[in-house]
Structure 1
Amino acid sequence: MLGEINLAQWKCLAELIDNSVDGFLSVLRAGGQLAAPEIHIQVPMSGNPNAMVSVIDNGPGMSAEVLERAVSAGWSGNDPISALGLFGMGFNIATARLGTVTTVWTTRAGDKEWIGLKIDFDALRAQRQFKTPRLTDVKHDEGQHGTKVIIEKLKPEQRDWFARAANRTKTQDQLGRVYAAMLRPGGVPLSFKLTFCGKSVEGRRHCVWSGPGGATRTVTTARHGVVDAFQSVDRQLPPRPFCMSCWQWIGTGEDACPSCGKSDDVIQRQRSIRGWLGIQRYLSETDYGIDFLRHGRKIETANKELFMWGDGEAPEPEYPIDDPRNRGRIVGEIHLDHCRVSYTKDRFERTDPAWEDMVRLVRGEGPLRPDKASDLGYLPNETPLFKLFQVFRRSTPKPKNAGAWARLLVVPNNELAEEMAKKFHAGTAEYQTDDKWFQLVEEEDRKLLLGGSSGSPPGTPPPTPGADDVLPGFGGDGNSGPANAVPAPPAPPSPPAQATPIPSLSRQYVSHLTELKWTLKAFQVAEEHPLVEGSLPWRLRATPHSAHEFYVNVGHPIFASATMTPLDGLLAELAWTAMDFMRSRQEILTFGAILADLRARYASGYALDPATLSNEARQSLADIASAVGRNIEPSDAPTLFKSLPLDDQKQIFQKMAARGAANPQSIVSTGRFLEYAPPTVVAGFYRDHPELFLDGRCWEEPYSELNYEVPEATETARARVFRHFEALLSDAVWLADQDPADLGGVSRAKLLRALYALELLSPVDGTEAS
C-alpha cells in the first residue's frame, strides 16, 4: 500500500539521498571529518526488464541493529530536529513506489564484511510474515564504509519513465535545484558530490546582481540611502521549549508538554533564520521567488507567498504589481531548520510558530507598500524584503534620465538578459559575473545621457532574441542554430580603435528561412571612421573564422527618423547578405520574406502591445497621483478634497473601501486621496490645481514661478504650459480607460502619441508610487 502513494520519481530518489546526507551530517555532529562525501545514482536508460535503480554513498554506514530498525515501516532512527530523512517510512514509500525488490548493503570502517538484507514483497506475501535473512558479503578493504540501496523488479511504468532521456534530464535538473545549497563549495550545512547516471549534478545557482564572492552592487536612493542588491539574513533567536514526543513547540517558561503531559522529552531547542535575498539579473513571469530550505534541502522553491498581503483576509499581490507583464526578479534562499515540514517534504507547516517568526524577520508584519502600512498603523519596516521592494520593485525607470537604468539595475532588453542567464547556468566563465549585464545597463544610460541614439520611440521595449541565439561572448557552443554560416570573404585591414562596442546588438543572428547564421560584434563609430566615411550609415564587415563586425554611425541623418534604428539597419543588411548568398540556389526567396523572418525574431519587441500599454498608462497615472499627494500640505488637504465634486469624492471612498484602507480620514488629511482616485478624477484635479503638479512638484516645468512682468504675458505663458500637460493627461487617461482588446483596432499613430505622452508625463526623481 505504501508503494501506491503517488510520489514523483525525483522525490523517490531524494528520499534516499536524504538518508545518505543524514549519515554525512551524523559524522560532522559527532566531531568527525568527512573526506570527499559522494552519492552516486543510477537509473534505467532503456526498457530492459532487468534494469535497476541504485543509490550508493560513502557515508559512515550502519550496524546490523540499526539497519534492521531503519528499514522497518513506521520506524525512524532520526530525530525531528537534526535530520533530513526519516529513513523508515520515507525509505519504504520511495523504494516500494519504484519496484518490488529492494536490497540494502552497508558497512562501517573497520567492519570485516558487508551486511545487508533484501525486501522482496512477493516473497514476504508468500511466507506470510515480514522476517528476511541477514545477508553478508566479502569486504576487501576494511577501511571502506558506506551504504548501497538497490531496487530491482522495477514497475513497468517506472522503468519506461526513466528510459526516456527527457525524463532523466528533468530528474537531474530537479535534483540540482533541490540540493543546490550542498552541491557547491562551502555548501550549507555541508558539501557533497552527486552523480546521476555517471554525470555530475551541478547545483543550480541564482543569477543575481551580487552575492558571496562577487562584487557588491549598491544603489543610492534619496529615501533609503545606500541599498545593497544582495541582502544577508542571519538572525539567532532565543531557545524555545520543544516536545520530542509530540514534535511541537511549547510556550516559553513551560516545563511540560500540554499535549502529552510529559516533561522528560521537553528540550530547549535552538532556533535561527539565515540566508539571503537578492535581485535577479533578468525578469521572469515565473522564475523568481524565495527558496525555503531545511538542513540544506530545498523544501519550497520560487515561493511567492511573502509577496502577498492579506491581514487575515484574502491575500492580494504586492509584487510584482509595477511591471506591465507581472514579471518579477526578487529571489533568495532562507534556511529554516527548526520549522516542521509535511511528510512529503514539499511544504513547511504554516501552523508552526517558526514560520511566522520567519515572515516577521524577512518581510515584516505589515504591507510592503509603506503608505498602506502607515494607513493601517504599522511601524516603519526595515526588513530585507522591504528594502529590495522599495528600491527595485520597478522594471522600467520613471523618468528615463541619465543613470536611470543603473539605479534600478535593470537590463532594458530582458529577453537578451534571460538568454545570457542560460550561459550563466551552463557555467560559461565570462557570464559568471554580472559584468555583461551591467554593460547593457550602461549602454542604455549612455543613450539617455546623449539624448537617445537608438532612434526607437520612448517606452518601446527593446528587441527580442530568438530561442537559438548565442549571446555576447560571440563564440557559440557549436550546437546552437543552423549549421550554415555565411562565408566570410577576405577581411579588409583592421580599422582604427575609435569604436565603442554595442553589447545589445552583439550576438548570433539566425535566419530560419535560409538556414544562415552570423556571429556578430557591433560597434558605434563616428562619421570619420574609415569603414563608414563617405556618408555611410553602417557597414557589415566580414572577418576570419566566419565572424562579422557591424559598424554603425548613429549620428547619421538616417537615424533622425523615428522609424529607423541601428537594429533596423543591421537586419536589413543581414537580409540583403542572405539574398546575395541564396542567388546560386534554386529556392525562391524574396528580400521581404527574409527581412520579415529576421524582424519577427529580433525586433518583435518593437510591437505596440495593447495590454502592456494600457497597464503602463494606469501605472503612470498612479505615479502622478502619488507624487502630487506627497506635496500637498496637510493643512490644505481637507479643503482640496472637499473641493472635488461629490461624485468624485464618492468614487474615492469606494476605492478606499475596496482596497481595505483602515483610516480613510487619515488618507484625506495627509493629502493622499488622489492615490484612490480614478484617472478621470486625477485629470480633473489637474485642471483645477495645476500649481500642485508643476514647478518641480510632479513635473519640472515652471508654472507659478513664471513671471514676464506683464500680467497678460505671464498668463499666456502659464496657459501654454497648462494646455501642454492637459493634452498629455488626456492621452494617458484615454489609454488607461481602454480595454486591451479594443486597442487592436486603434491606429499606430494614435498609440504612439499616447506612448509618448506617458514618457513625457513621468514624474521627477524620487516620486515613485508607494
Structure 2
Amino acid sequence: MSIKTINLTPDPRILRMLGQIELKGWQCIAELVDNSIDAMLKTKSSSKTNEIEIQIPSRVEIERNIPLSIRDNGTGMTEDELENCLKAGYTSQSTDNLGLFGMGFNIATARLGDVVEVWTSTKEMDHEIGVRIDLIEMQRTKSFVRELLRRKKTFAVSGTSIEISKFHPRAEKLLNKQHIQKELNRIYSKKLLDEYKISIKTNQVQLKPFEFCVWSEERSVIYQGEEIHAVQHFNHDFDDRHYCARCFIWIDEYEADITTQTVCPNCNLADMVQARKINIKGWVGIQRYNDLEHYGINIIRNGRIIKKLDKSLFTWQDRYNKNNGEPIKDYPIDTTAQGGRIVGEIIADFITPTYTKDSFEETDKHWLDSVEVVRGKGPLQPKIAESLQFTRNQSPLAKLFYGYRKSFPVGLKNLIPGNKAGQGLYSEAKKWADLFYEGDPDYQSDTKWYEAVLNAEFPVDDSGIDPTIMDNTPPAAEGEQNTGDATNDSNPTPSANAAQDQDLYPGRKIHLADKELDLRPTLNEMPYRLAIYNYWPTVDFKSPIIFEAIQASKFNVYVNNNHPLFKDFADGWEDLVLMEISTRFYEKLNNLDIWPLSRIYYELKNKYFGEKMLSVQALVSEAKALITDIQNYLVNEVSGQPLVQLPVLSPEQLKTLKQNYLQIEAKSLQDVDTILTTTEFLKYMDYSYIIDFAKSNPSLIYDDNYFALPYDTLDDSDIKTRQLEQYNGYLGDIKWFIFDLSNYTDVLVKQQRNLIIRNRFSLEFLNSKVS
C-alpha cells in the first residue's frame, strides 16, 4: 500500500492575522531593534561602534508609502540564517538573545504593513541577499515559497536592513516618532549599550538610555549607629536550571538527577534542553528627589528593561503564610505627601517575558527567591517583621528603608534638601532633576542637592554663641574667620584697598553663605557676588548690614548682630541684603518707570528666596505632610502597644472610620471595638482627628518618640501643663493651615499675613523637633 503525504504548511493569512496582536508602535520597532542587537552581541569588538539607524516616516510619507526602515551594521546573515529567522515560530538555542520568539519579527512587521523587505550581507560576501514578503500576494497564491534576491553590496562591511511598506491604516497612529523615541530611551539599559558600543538613532536623533537621578554611592545616613550608603549592590548565584528553548519553559526544578539529556515534559524531546545559569544582580538606591509616581525598580533581561519603575517589591507577599496570606505594603508609608524615592535595577536574565516584553511570570520559584535576595524574607517594617517572628532584615532594600524611609526633618538625617528655615525643597529638587535628565552638565553630580541638604542642616541659629567674648578669640573652626584686634575708629568707611595687616571690621565672623544675585537676562547687568558672614563687631557700627567691596561687583557682607534691628524686629538678613543689591541695580538703570526699586526687589526675592514668600499652597502641603508623618508613625511604630484609654468616637468620626476602612481595605469593618484598642485605627481617620488624638495622647509623641520635646520627663506638674498647652498651640496652628488657610481667598490671605507668618514659625519649629 502506498503512503500518501499531505502538506501542513499553514495558510499565509495567518501571518496577516498576527498583525492583529496588540503591540504598540514602539514595541514593534523595539522587536526589530532587538534582532539587530542580538546580532551585535555575538561579537564584542574593542574598536567598532555598532550602529542601528531607524527611519520612521511622517504621516505624509506614510500616505506616499515611503518605507519604515531599520538598518544595522551587525554581522549579517547567511542564506540559512535568513531563512530560519523569517520562519514563524523559529527559535535558536542561544540563551543570550533579547528576542525570545521567532514570532516576534512576524508580529511586529505584520502589525504595521503588508510588505517587508529584508536585505543582509556578511563580511565574507561581495553582495547582499534579500527576501520580499508580500502578505497579500502570499495569501492569494497560498504559498510560503519566496525568491532569494541578490543585489550589489551597500553595507561597508556587513549588516541587515528591514523595510516595511504598504502600511495598514493603524500605522499612522502607531508610528508616533516622539513617543517611540521616548519609549526606546527607557527600555534599553545604559550598561548594555555602553558595553557593546551600540548606537541607536531614530530619524538621526541619538537614543539616550535612561539613567536614574540617584545620590552618589559615597552619600550616607546614620541609622541606629550604622552608616547606610545611598546605593546598595547585590549579586547572587542560584543553582543551574534546565530550560526547553523549543517550548520556552523551565523544566521542573525539583526533578532529581537532571542531566543535559533531560527530556522536556512538554515536547518529550531533549535536543533543545539546556542548562542555564541563574543569577540575580543589580542595585537599589535613593533618588535625589521624591515623586508620587517616578520611583520603583527596573527589571532587566539581557539589557532590555522588561518592567519600568516596578513597585511590587515594596509590598511584602506572605509567601510563608505568616499573616494569613495577606500582603503588607511597606513603602512608601511615611511620605504619602511627597511620594517615594527608592529606585534601582534588577538584572534577571533567566526570566521569560511575555511576547510584548513588558511583563513576565512573577510566581516562578527562582524569581520569588530573587525577590528575597533584594528585599529579604520578611516585611521591611521592623516591628511588623518582629511580630511575625522574622529576624532582623539585612537585605539591600531593607537597609535603604531603615535609613531613608522618611522625608523630613530635612538635612543630613534623611538626606533631604531644604532651606535655612528647615523647609523641604521638594519641588525645587524635582526641577533640578529635570535639568539632570536634560543633560545639563551642572546637574549631573549630586552637588546641588547636597548643598541644599547642608543648607538645611546648619540653619541660622546663633543662640549658642556669646557675642561678648571677643578678645583672645580661639583659633577659628572650619567655616569661620578670625580677625585681629579691635580699633577705636567708630565709623569706618568700607574700602577695597585696606592694608592686609589692618582689619577694618574687627570682631567675630562666621560664614553664612555665598550668593550670586543675577537678574540676567531680565536685566542686562552684571551679577553681584556676595560672601555673607554673621558678624559680632567689637566697635559700634550704625548699619545693620555692612558691604565691604572686594571688586566692582564682589563684596563681603557682614550681618551686624549687635544692631538693634535684629533684636527688636523679626527681620532677617536676607531682605536687608536684597534691599542693598536692589538699590545698586536701580542706580545703573535708565528706564526707572519700568524698573522701579520695588520691582527689582521682588524679582530678586522671588528668584533667590522664594521659599520665604508666603506660598499658601506650600504651607498647607507642608502642614499636611507633617500630620501625615505623625499618622504614619502612630500607625506603624506604635500600633503594637494597647491604648491606655480607648478613644470614644462621635457618630461622624465613626462614619469616617468605616468609610475610609472600606475604601482602603475593600471590605467592611466588622469589629470596631477591637480596632480601637491600638493606634491601628488612625490609618483610617482624617487630619482633624489625628491632630486631636495627638493633643490627647502626648506620651505617644513627645520625649523623643516622635518629637524631641520633653513631656513625661518633666517632674513639675505645673511646668508639664504649661508645656503641653504650648505644644497643643503649635498643633492648633498646623490645624489652622490645613482647615482654614487652605480655603482663604487672595484678599483674606493678604489680610491675615501677620497670622500666617506667626503660624509658620510653629510649623518650622515642629519640623525642626522631629526626632
| TM > 0.5 | yes
Structure 1 residues 451 and 50: alpha-carbon distance in aligned structure 2, compared to 1, 3 A threshold: farther
Letter in 1 for 2:37: V
Answer yes or no: is the 8 Å Cα contact 2:547–2:558 preserved in 1: no
Answer yes or no: is the 8 Å Cα contact 1:209–1:279 preserved in 2: yes
- For residues 184-583 of structure 1, the aligned pairs below 5 Å read 185=194, 187=195, 190-211=196-217, 216-222=218-224, 225-254=226-255, 259=266, 265-309=272-316, 318-323=330-335, 325-397=337-409, 405-412=411-418, 413-447=425-459, 450=462, 502=513, 506=516, 509=519, 521-525=529-533, 535=543, 537=545, 552-555=557-560, 568=575, 583=590
Letter in 2 for 1:347: S
Answer yes or no: is the 8 Å Cα contact 1:499–1:523 preserved in 2: no
Letter in 2 for 1:132: R
Q: How many Å apart are 1:409 and its aligned residue?
A: 1.8
Alignment pair present for 1:618 and 2:627: yes
Structure 1 residues 364 and 525: alpha-carbon distance in aligned structure 2, compared to 1, 3 A threshold: same
Alignment pair present for 1:149 and 2:157: no
Structure 1 residues 447 and 75: alpha-carbon distance in aligned structure 2, compared to 1, 3 A threshold: same
Of 115, 124, 127, the residue aligned with 1:113 is 127
Alignment pair present for 1:137 and 2:151: yes
CA distance in 2, matches of 1:409, 1:361: 25
Answer yes or no: is the 8 Å Cα contact 2:411–2:455 preserved in 1: no
Aligned partner of 1:401 in structure 2 is: none
Letter in 1 for 2:103: M
Q: How many Å apart are 1:107 and its aligned residue?
A: 1.9
Moved more, 286-295 or 238-247: 238-247
Aligned partner of 1:94 in structure 2 is: 108
Q: How many Å apart are 1:350 and its aligned residue?
A: 2.8
Q: How many Å apart are 1:18 and its aligned residue?
A: 0.6
CA distance in 2, matches of 1:67, 1:681: 70
Alignment pair present for 1:20 and 2:27: no
Letter in 2 for 1:20: S
Task: Name the Cα RMSD after superposition.
Answer: 5.0
Q: How many Å apart are 1:276 and its aligned residue?
A: 0.6
Structure 1 residues 101 and 244: alpha-carbon distance in aligned structure 2, compared to 1, 3 A threshold: closer
Q: How many Å apart are 1:27 and its aligned residue?
A: 3.8
Aligned partner of 2:71 in structure 1 is: 56
Question: What is the DSSP-based 3-state SS (H/G/I as helix, E as strand, rest coil) of the residue aligned with 1:322?
Answer: coil
Answer yes or no: is the 8 Å Cα contact 1:277–1:330 preserved in 2: yes
Moved more, 78-87 or 439-448: 78-87
Letter in 2 for 1:411: P
Moved more, 406-415 or 271-280: 406-415
Aligned partner of 1:471 in structure 2 is: none
Q: How many residues align?
A: 680
Q: How many Å apart are 1:538 and its aligned residue?
A: 7.5
TM-score between the two structures when normalised by the length of structure 2 = 0.72
CA distance in 2, matches of 1:301, 1:119: 34
Answer yes or no: is the 8 Å Cα contact 1:525–1:552 preserved in 2: yes
CA distance in 1, matches of 2:54, 2:499: 55
Deviations 1:57-94 (A, max 9, x none): 2222211012022123x223334843212474222333
CA distance in 1, matches of 2:548, 2:134: 70
Question: What is the DSSP-based 3-state SS (H/G/I as helix, E as strand, rest coil) of the residue aligned with 1:447?
Answer: coil
Aligned partner of 2:480 in structure 1 is: none
CA distance in 2, matches of 1:494, 1:157: 77
Question: What is the DSSP-based 3-state SS (H/G/I as helix, E as strand, rest coil) of the residue aligned with 1:240?
Answer: strand
Of 57, 66, 69, the residue aligned with 2:81 is 66
Q: Unpaired runs of 5+ in structure 2? A: 1-15, 256-261, 319-323, 419-424, 466-495, 504-508
Q: How many Å apart are 1:238 and its aligned residue?
A: 1.8
Letter in 1 for 2:368: E
CA distance in 2, matches of 1:518, 1:45: 48
- Specify the structure having the higher radius of gyration (Cα): 2
Q: How many Å apart are 1:156 and its aligned residue?
A: 7.7
TM-score between the two structures when normalised by the length of structure 1 = 0.72
Q: How many Å apart are 1:667 and its aligned residue?
A: 11
Question: What is the DSSP-based 3-state SS (H/G/I as helix, E as strand, rest coil) of the residue aligned with 2:278?
Answer: strand
Structure 1 residues 758 and 440: alpha-carbon distance in aligned structure 2, compared to 1, 3 A threshold: closer
Structure 1 residues 96 and 502: alpha-carbon distance in aligned structure 2, compared to 1, 3 A threshold: farther
Answer yes or no: is the 8 Å Cα contact 2:185–2:208 preserved in 1: yes
Structure 1 residues 196 and 534: alpha-carbon distance in aligned structure 2, compared to 1, 3 A threshold: farther
Question: What is the DSSP-based 3-state SS (H/G/I as helix, E as strand, rest coil) of the residue aligned with 2:335?
Answer: coil
Structure 1 residues 66 and 184: alpha-carbon distance in aligned structure 2, compared to 1, 3 A threshold: closer
CA distance in 2, matches of 1:510, 1:21: 47
Answer yes or no: is the 8 Å Cα contact 1:37–1:59 preserved in 2: no
CA distance in 1, matches of 2:595, 2:431: 29
Answer yes or no: is the 8 Å Cα contact 1:579–1:590 preserved in 2: yes
Question: What is the DSSP-based 3-state SS (H/G/I as helix, E as strand, rest coil) of the residue aligned with 1:348?
Answer: coil
CA distance in 2, matches of 1:96, 1:673: 55
Structure 1 residues 358 and 521: alpha-carbon distance in aligned structure 2, compared to 1, 3 A threshold: farther
Moved more, 248-257 or 555-564: 555-564
Alignment pair present for 1:172 and 2:186: no
Letter in 2 for 1:149: I
Percent identical pairs in the alignment equals 28
Deviations 1:284-328 (A, max 9, x none): 333322111110011222222323457598977543333363332
Question: What is the DSSP-based 3-state SS (H/G/I as helix, E as strand, rest coil) of the residue aligned with 2:379?
Answer: coil
Structure 1 residues 526 and 217: alpha-carbon distance in aligned structure 2, compared to 1, 3 A threshold: closer
Letter in 1 for 2:306: I
CA distance in 2, matches of 1:431, 1:534: 42
CA distance in 2, matches of 1:561, 1:124: 92
